Structure 1
């Protein structure tokens, strides 16, 4: 690889690392946006459950039907509470991983639509930035390695 090739390699490495770092630096901020939206869903589910139990929502239901509907809403409240607690109670460094593992994809999609990137200045964001830089550099090296192997083999056969 000549001088120009090495410079482009360095540039590609820097761009990949910066992109990965910038991307993953947003993980804590997006997780907070997700938790806010999840909290709103939880509040609304609790309110709906209460209104169903009181007979205010869908008043034409019989007592047995109301009880059955309340069970369904209570299940949703319990599901949302468990998801919220599993993410919110974790360390800030682990929250993005737990959000990906336990999060609701529809809520996450809606959070993403409204998400505005944040400037990472707290420790978890800086750690995620570092992880993103390292991960992107590893991916970059993996993609360029096969081309380097092929080029070396060509040199051996023609040299």
Structure 2
């Protein structure tokens, strides 16, 4: 029986290692998407800035002009551009913090401060992989040891509950 438990524990440990390794992989795909979102927003804002400059406006004055327009559509475009500028600032700050953070801190930063839109896009298109980075290998090892050890501890505990105490019988003379 204990041999079967060890085999099952080992198999579950392998599964735990594979599952745990997906955290760093998700983080890596998140950072790629984050960079893509930043690049795209920069292009949109650069085109807007060029149009504003060609009209003798600054970015801020062009946004203010659009937002104050009585035409609802034009006013909404001004609000949307303001939101793009603000989002670009947040994303750049977030990416800067992730670049400065260590391997496991990046995952925590992503979970705590990650951009919801980027996170949802990564989740939708996530492709599992086994990362061979330090972060991926350590995550795999932690996942393996956690499940493997947890199963062995749990089965040991359950076995101890099922064991019946031995009664001491006296032999009479």
TM-score computed with the length of structure 2 as normaliser: 0.66
Residues 110 and 68 of structure 1: CA distance in aligned 2, closer, same or farther (over 3 Å): closer
Q: Report the Cα offset of residue 45 of structure 1.
A: 2.2
User: Are the counterparts in 2 of residues 24 and 132 from structure 1 also a CA contact under 8 Å?
Assistant: yes
1:76 aligns with 2:101: no
User: Are the counterparts in 2 of residues 23 and 132 from structure 1 also a CA contact under 8 Å?
Assistant: yes
The aligned counterpart of 2:57 is none
- Structure 2: 5+ residue stretches without partners: 55-62, 68-76, 169-173
Instruction: Tell me how many residue pairs correspond in the alignment.
Output: 149
The Cα RMSD (Å) is 3.2
- Structure 1: 5+ residue stretches without partners: none
Q: Deviations over 1:26-74 (max 9, x none)?
A: 3333222111111111222223333444359xxxx87151665443222
TM-score computed with the length of structure 1 as normaliser: 0.71
Query: What is the correspondence of 1:1-159 to structure 2 with a 5 Å cutoff?
Result: 4=1, 6-53=2-49, 54=51, 63-65=65-67, 68-141=79-152, 143-144=154-155, 147-148=158-159, 150-152=161-163, 155-156=164-165
Q: 1 CA distance for matches of 2:47 and 2:154? A: 56
